[in-house]
Structure 1
Amino acid sequence: YKGRFADVREVGRELGVNYVVEGTVRRGGDRLRISVQLVDADTRTQLWSERYEGATEDVFEFQDRIAAQVAGAIHPAIRGAEIELARRKPPASLRAYDLVMRAYPNIWGRRKDANDLAIELLRKAIAIDPAYGRAHALLAWCHASNAVFLWAEHPESELEKALAAVEAAGSIGDDPTALAAAGWALSMCGEQERAATFIERALALDPNNAWAWARRGWIAIYKNEAALALDRFHRAMTLSPMDPFAFAVRLGTGYALAKTGSLSQAVTIAREIIAAHPDIVIPYRYLAAWSAMDGDLETARWAAQKLLTVQPDFTIERFRLLPIFRNTPEWADKMVEALKLAGLPEH
C-alpha cells in the first residue's frame, strides 16, 4: 500500500484482519521521526498512537526498539478493543471467548467484588468450553489474587483452587497470555521454579509480553534475586506504560529497591502509587513496612491505619503465612518487625 491512499477498512478486508498498524516516516538532516498508530479496520477508530525520534546512523537499533515498543503497546490496546466488542454484543450471543473478554476488566479491577465477578465469568466460559486453557489460567490468577490480596477468609483454600486451575488448563504452551497468568498463580503459590518455566515459555513465544516480563520481575524478588528484578520491571514498563497492571510493575520496582537497601526510593514509589490509585489496598501494606524500616514511623502508622480502614481483618500473621515468603525467611522476619512498629495487629 506504500505510495497510494488506502482506506483502512479496505485494507482490513483485503488482508482479512481486524486491526491495522499504519504510520509515516519523515527525515530531517540526520534525524528520523516515525509516527505509528493502531486502527480498528472496521470502525476506523484509532486505538493507540505514538511518535518516535532518533538518529539515522542508529537506524537498525532504532527499528528494533520501535518494533518492541509497538508490539508491547498493541497488546493492551487490542485487548481493550476486544472487551468493548464483547460488551456491545447482546448477551444471547456471548460464548466462551466473549465471557473471557468480559472478565478481563474485572481481573484488573483491583477490588474483591470485581475479582469475584471475574471468577464467575470465567467459570461460565469453562462450563461452555471445558478445554479453554486461557480461561482456566486466568481463573488461577483470580484465585491467587484472592489469597495474596488477603481478600479471602482462608487464603490457603484459594491457593489450592489456583493450583487446581493451573492443572486444569492443560496444554497452554502456545498461548503467552495463559502461560503468564498460570506462571503468576504458581508464583503466588510459592512454586517459583515452576512459575519461571511458564514465564520463560511465554517470553520465548512473545518477547514483548509485558505481563510476562512483570511476572519475571516478581519471581526474581521471591527467589531472593531482587537485583535482577529491576531490569525486568523496567522492560515491562517500557513495553506497556499504560498497562492496567502498571501499578504492580511500579510496586515491584519499589519492592526490589527496598530489598536492595534503597528504602527512601521504595517509599517514594509506594506514595506515588497510593496518590494515583488510592483504592488499591496492597501499597499501604508495603508503605507501612518500608517507612518503618526507614525510620519514618509517622508515615508507617498513617499507612497502617489506612490499611486497616479498608481491610480491618488484616493481621501480620495472615500476611506472613503467604507462600511468597518461602524462599526469603530473613526478609519476611524484617517485614514482620516493621509492620509491628507500624502498629498493625499480629493476630
Structure 2
Amino acid sequence: MISATIGVPEPGQPQPRSVRRALQAMRADLERHWTIGELAKIAGVSARTLQRQFHACYDKSPQSVLRDIGFERARQELLRGGAEDKVMDVALRCGFGHYGRFAVDYRRRFGETPSQTLKRRAVLAHQLAAKLPATISAQRRPTLAFERIEAGAGHEDVAASLADDLIAALTRSGFAVVAGAAPYRMHGAIRADAVGEARLTLQLIDHASGRMLWAQRLDGILGYDAEGCEQLATRVVAALQPHLRGAEIDRAFRKPDAELTAHDLALRAMPGVLSLDAEGNARAFELLQQALDMAPEEGLATALAAWVHAQRVVYHFSSNTADDRARGLALAGQVGAQSADATVLCLLGNALTVLDALGDADQVIRKALAVDGGSAWAWSRSGWLDVYRGDPASAIERFRIALDLAPQDPLAFNSMVGIGCAHFNAGRYIEAARWQQRALLEHPSALWVHRTMCPAYLLAGAGDEARRSMQALRAHYPELTLSEVRRGTPPLPDSYLSLMFEALSDAGLPA
C-alpha cells in the first residue's frame, strides 16, 4: 500500500500538466494570495479550464486545494517546530493572514488547537532521548537493504544525516538494516523542484517481486535541524512500520505449511489479533495454539496469545471469562518484561492493561518506549494507561502522538476510542461520542465500542443517537447484560464506570 503524498488530497484521476504547474506554484509560495487568473496564467490554460480540471481531480476549487496544502504544511511545521516557534508565524508562512480564523479552522480540521500540536514535539523529543540499545536477535528481524539517500550538489550533508537517522530509527523499530541483498529495499532521494524547493522521496520495494510496498514524499526538507531530522526519521519509520509488518505477514502466508516456524504462525495470527473482533480472535486463537505447541518460548506468539485471551474477556468473545483471564495473565508472565522487542512488549502491555495488571503494564510500556520512542503502539497503550488512571489530558496527548506517528496503522482506530474515553472522563460527552463514532467508522466490526459510545450520547442529551447505539449493541450481543459488561469492562476509573453503567441501564440494557 502506498501512503498519500503530504500536502494535498490524492486526486481522483491523473493530474493534467496545468494542474501540476498550479500546485507547484502554490507550494512554492503559500504566503501569496493567489487569484485564479494568476494560477491559470502559470498553468497555461484559461481560468475556467483550470477550475474544471481541479474539480475533476479533487472535487474542489483551486482555492480550496490551496487551503488544504496550507493546513497540511502548517501541521507539519508545528509538529517539527521548536520552542522558539510561534503559531502565528507558522500561520502566516502557510498563507493564513487572519490568525483567529486559522486557529478555529485548524481545530475544526484536526480536532486540537495549533499550540497543542506544537507542544507535542517536546514530549516526543524527551522520549527519544531515553534510548535503550537494540538487542533483538537478528533471526527475528525483518531485513532491509538501505545504504544512502541520493542527493544533488549542496544537499549531501542533509542526505547523510537523514540516512543515519533513518537507519537508527529502523533498528530501534526491530528491523535489521544491511548494505547487501535483503528481502526489502529502501530507496531515498532529495531533489529540488523547478522553484528550488528540496523534496525527499522514499520508497520501500519488495526485492523478489519488485512491487512498491510504500512511498512517501516530504517537502521543505532543508528546514529541519538535527533534532528535527531525528523526529522526521522517527515519524517516517512509524508510518512505514505497518506496511513492512504487512509484507512480513504476506511472506508468512506464502510459505508452504510444512516449512512454517512458530514465528511464521504468529505472523499469520497477527491480522486476526489486530482486528479486535470475534472472528479474527477465533482464527488467531487456533494459529497461536499451534505456534505455542511447536515452540512454547516463542516471544511474539506468547505475547499475542496473552492478548487474545484478554480480548476474549474484555470484548465478550468468551463465556468463560475467568479461565481466559487466568490464562492471559499466565502467558503474560511467561514473556515478562525481559524482552527487548518493542512490538512484543507492546502486545504484552495490551494484555496486562485490560486484565487490570496496571503496574506490570506500565513497566512494560515504559520499556517499549525506551527501546523505540517512535512506536505508535506503545504511545497508544500509554494513553490507555492514563485513561485508566484518570488523567485525560495526558491520555489525549499520547493518543495524538500515536495517530501522528502512524495514522494508517490497523490499531489507529483504537487510539480514537481512547480519545473518546478520555473526553468522557473529563465530562466532555459529545466529544467522547464523536471520537468513538469516528473510530467505529474506521473499524465497523468493533461493535463493542457502543458500550461506551451509547452512554456518552445519552449523557450529552443526544437521545436518538443513544437509542440507535444501544440497538446496534444489542443486535450484535443479543444476550448481553449489565452484569456481563461489568465482568468484561477494563479497569476504567470508578467515577467513569458509575456513569457508564447507570447510562447503559437507562438506555435499556437488562441487568
Residue 226 of structure 2 corresponds to 60
Distance 1:171 1:62, change over 3 A: closer
Matches within 5 A, 1:1-347: 15-27=180-192, 31-54=197-220, 56-169=222-335, 172-322=338-488, 324-325=490-491, 328-346=493-511
Change (3 A) 1:223 1:13: closer
| Contact 2:402-2:415 within 8 A present in 1 as well | yes
Q: Supply the AA of the counterpart residue of 1:306.
A: A
Q: Which consecutive aligned stretches of 4+ in structure 1 deviate over 6 angstroms post-superposition?
A: none
Tell me, in whole angstroms, the C-alpha distance in 1 between the residues paired with 2:336 and 2:486: 31
SS of structure 1 residue aligned to 2:427:
coil
Could you tell me whether the CA contact under 8 Å between 2:204 and 2:212 is conserved in 1?
Answer: yes
RMSD: 2.1
Read off the aligned partner of 1:250 and give its amino acid letter: M
Rounded Cα–Cα distance in structure 1 between residues aligned with 2:225 and 2:336: 43
Shift of 1:58: 3.5
Shift of 1:172: 4.3
Partner Cα distance (1:192, 1:240) in 2: 25
Note if contact 1:218-1:229 (Cα within 8 Å) is conserved in structure 2: yes
Q: Which runs of 5+ in 2 are unaligned?
A: 1-147, 152-176
* 5+ residue gaps, structure 1: 5-11
Q: Report SS of the residue matched to 1:152.
A: coil
In structure 2, what residue type is equivalent to 1:41?
A: H
CA distance in 2, matches of 1:340, 1:106: 32
Cα distance in 2 for partners of 1:144, 1:100 equals 17
In structure 2, the CA distance between the partners of 1:95 and 1:188, relative to structure 1 (3 Å rule), is: same
Q: Deviations over 1:87-128 (max 9, x none)?
A: 111111112111011001111233212212211111111111
Q: Which amino acid aligns with 2:476?
A: V
Residues 30/266 of structure 1: CA separation in 2 closer, same or farther (3 Å cut): farther
Does the Cα contact within 8 Å between 1:54 and 1:62 map onto a contact in 2? Answer: no
Shift of 1:74: 2.3
8 Å CA contact 1:52–1:66 kept in 2: the answer is no
Q: Distance in 1 between matches of 2:473 and 2:488?
A: 18
Q: Per the alignment, do residues 340 and 323 of structure 1 end up closer, same or farther by CA in structure 2, a change over 3 Å counting?
A: closer
* CA-CA distance at 1:344 after TM superposition: 1.3
Q: Which has the larger radius of gyration?
A: 2
Q: Give the 3 Å change call, closer, same or farther, for CA 45–168 of structure 1 in structure 2.
A: same
Most deviating of 252-261 and 265-274: 265-274
| Residue 9 (structure 1) aligns with | none
TM-score, normalised relative to structure 2: 0.63
Q: How much does 1:274 deviate? A: 2.7
Identity %: 32
Deviations 1:128-154 (A, max 9, x none): 112112211110010001111011113
> Structure 1: which amino acid aligns with 2:205?
V
